[in-house]
Amino acid sequence: MQKAPMYGIIRLMKKIDYKAIEKYWIDSSDDAMDTARRLKRGKKYVHAMFFVHLAIEKLLKGVYVNHNKEEAPIGHNLQNLAGKISDLDMDLAQKSIIAQITTFNIAARYDDYKQSFYKSCDEKFAKEFMKKGKEIIAWLKSRLA
């Protein structure tokens, strides 16, 4: 008979502090949004949009932990993350914004997408999506119990 590894038994005995995990994601989201604001001020619009995505991703993970009382799933697709949160009712406009912001993760990271994103991601674009990102973040924070 094979014995279970000791670390598995210890983990089962240990109570997981979901409030601490939730706080980590929320604080991390706030930090990412602060970085997005600084990058936008520095006219680094593509990178700012990447950090808007990151801020929302981290906050979605915090809301996931808050609602589901389990560790957040791995992944960067905001639509998938939002869909896994119990009782998170996003309207069509919010879903559309989330879908657009999800693309910033790929567009800012991969060279073949970067070129076209650089052309469209100007000051006006960045200002618009900073505003939309802040609105989504405020709405998500209002869903924390």
Tell me, rounded to whole angstroms, the distance of Cα 13 from its chain centroid. 30
Q: What is the pTM of this model?
A: 0.86
> CA-to-CA distance for 62 and 70, rounded, in angstroms?
10
CATH number of the domain bearing residue 62:
1.20.120.330
Query: In the predicted model, is pLDDT for residue 78 greater than 80?
Result: yes
Is residue 65 domain-resident? yes
Tell whether the torsion through CA atoms of 93, 63, 29 and 77 is positive or negative: negative
56 contacts 77 by C-beta, under 8 angstroms: no
6-19 residue pLDDT tens? 445 445 556 788 89
Is residue 44 domain-resident? yes
Is residue 45 domain-resident? yes
Is residue 1 domain-resident? no
How many domains, in total, are found in the chain?
1
31-55 residue pLDDT tens? 999 999 999 999 999 999 999 999 9
